[in-house]
Amino acid sequence: MNGKTDRLENRREFFRRLGRWIGLGALGLLGWPLLGRRRAAPADTVWQLDPEKCIQCGNCATKCVLALSAVKCVHAYDVCGYCNLCGGYHQPYVKRLDTAAENQLCPTSALVRTFIEEPYYQYDVIEERCIGCGVCVKGCGSFGNGSLHLQVRHDRCVNCNDCAIARQCPAQAFRRVPADRPYLMRGERWKAGSRKA
């Protein structure tokens, strides 16, 4: 009789556990659509840096979850003056306006200067070298027309639910914007994540 009681207890325990697993599975199936909805919302938006609010604090270079930040300098060519003395390219109070490393402001030589015709030069950003430090952007804004600015590059960004850079941004310049219009270019006005026409 003792062996029969043990077998009965084992069967009861087996069915209890089976009932728990079935119940948890059912809850999981019922909750799946809710989880799907929650995940779908962030896919419609992406993180972006508002160039009108950015103060070039340097956090973009060091606070991103990626080893090399997803934030890069971009150039609004239609705003650029193609200056011989570029505030974003040259060190302040530079003695020679050439491409020597000691005369360049960018710590990684990501900003490249190309002669067009006297007195015009074109400045291009090599994104593979850019660390998103904002040094050139600050120089361009202080001594130029502000054609250089920082943007999150979405081919690199992993679109974290809670952006590490956004948490550390003292100017609160990061915001979610529609994924179909992910870039906030210098000079354009953005309001509540949507573009003004």
Domain residue limits, the chain: 1-43, 45-195
Mean per-residue pLDDT over the chain, rounded: 84
**Residue 163: exposed, middle, or buried by beta-carbon count in 10 A (0-12, 13-18, 19+)?**
buried
Model confidence pLDDT, tens digit, residues 150-159: 999 999 999 9
**Residue 62: exposed, middle, or buried by beta-carbon count in 10 A (0-12, 13-18, 19+)?**
middle
What pLDDT score was predicted for residue 35? 47
How remote is the C-alpha of 104 from its chain's centroid? 25
Categorize the per-residue pLDDT at 5 as very low, low, confident or very high, splitting at 50, 70 and 90: low
Amino acid at 42: P
What are 191's strand-pairing partners?
Answer: 194
H/E run at residue 46: strand 45-49
Categorize the per-residue pLDDT at 4 as very low, low, confident or very high, splitting at 50, 70 and 90: low
- Angle, CA 176 vertex, CA 50 and CA 186 arms, to 5°: 20
Categorize the per-residue pLDDT at 38 as very low, low, confident or very high, splitting at 50, 70 and 90: very low
Amino acid at 115: F
Model confidence pLDDT, tens digit, residues 79-93: 899 999 999 999 988
What pLDDT score was predicted for residue 34? 47
pTM listed for this prediction: 0.71
What six digits make up the tokens of 195?
Answer: 């573009």
What six digits make up the tokens of 93?
Answer: 């109070």
What pLDDT score was predicted for residue 145? 87
What pLDDT score was predicted for residue 36? 44
Which of 197, 165, 191 lies closest to 49 in space, CA to CA?
165
